[in-house]
Amino acid sequence: MKIEERKSPLVHAGLLGGIALVAAVFLILGNMATKQSIKDRQYEDLVRSLEIVIPKRLHDNDLTTGVMHVEDALGKSHKIYRARKGGNITAIAFLQTVQGYRSIQLIMGIAASGEVLGVRVLSHEETPGLGDGIEVEKSDWITRFDGLSLQNTPRSRWAVKKDGGMFDQFSGATITPRAVVKAVREGLAFFRFKRAQLLSRDSSKNKDGKGAGS
């Protein structure tokens, strides 16, 4: 009886240890599966967003491959997705992060000629019912950048109407549209500043050659 009592704690410890080990293995496997699933969803979202801001008619390549990394005038690196048609660069797309009430991430497509092809919000934390008017599902406001460029729209017009510009502000949430307008204009300025490099047909500098999931 005394021997069994001495062995009992060891047996219990072994059982608990085994259970803990099995649980840890399942947690690790579950985490790995979840990470891959999230990565896959993010890739799919990126592909859909690229297809929106760069029309299919402008490219015959996979937009997520041959990605470039190009620095702007402030030294910030941008991941550039380039559309090709017959080997020529017809458009580019890249992400822009701007501060509204909180962080807003956009993706914008720009034609080789310098006009905005499209802008979409990828994520934001603006106030529902106020700042979320930047979502295309809630309003067509974000589509009003389509076709605009630094050539056909004077600098003074790149502002909300409250600031003397051409873009509507949202009732009670001027900060949000103001931030997006600023981000789009800065995106166009970046394109103009780096145009030669961005549209260089044979440019291999700062190209990672990997897909979006890398």
pLDDT in tens, 176-197: 999 999 999 999 999 999 999 9
Instruction: Return the H-helix or E-strand segment holding 138.
Output: none
State how many domains the chain has.
Answer: 1
Q: Which of 83, 64, 80 is nearest to 72 (CA)?
A: 80
pTM equals 0.75
- Tell me the pLDDT band of 123, cut-offs 50, 70 and 90: confident
Work out the mean pLDDT of the chain and round it to a whole number. Answer: 83
The span from the CA of 214 to the CA of 208, in Å, is 9
pLDDT of residue 214: 32
Expressed as residue numbers, the domain containing 205 is 1-214
DSSP H/E element including 8: helix 2-53
With cut-offs at 50, 70 and 90, classify the pLDDT of residue 39: low
| More confident site: 39 or 142 | 142
Backbone dihedral angles phi then psi of residue 210, each to the nearest 5 degrees: -110, 165
Asked whether 145 and 191 are in contact (CB, 8 A), the reply is: no
208: pLDDT strictly greater than 60: no
Instruction: Taking residues 148-162, report their average pLDDT.
Output: 95
Quote the CA–CA distance of 50 and 45 in Å, as a whole number: 9
Q: Is the pLDDT of residue 63 over 70?
A: yes
The DSSP letter of residue 168 is: P
pLDDT score, position 54:
95
pLDDT number for residue 201: 78
In the prediction, which pLDDT does 40 show?
65
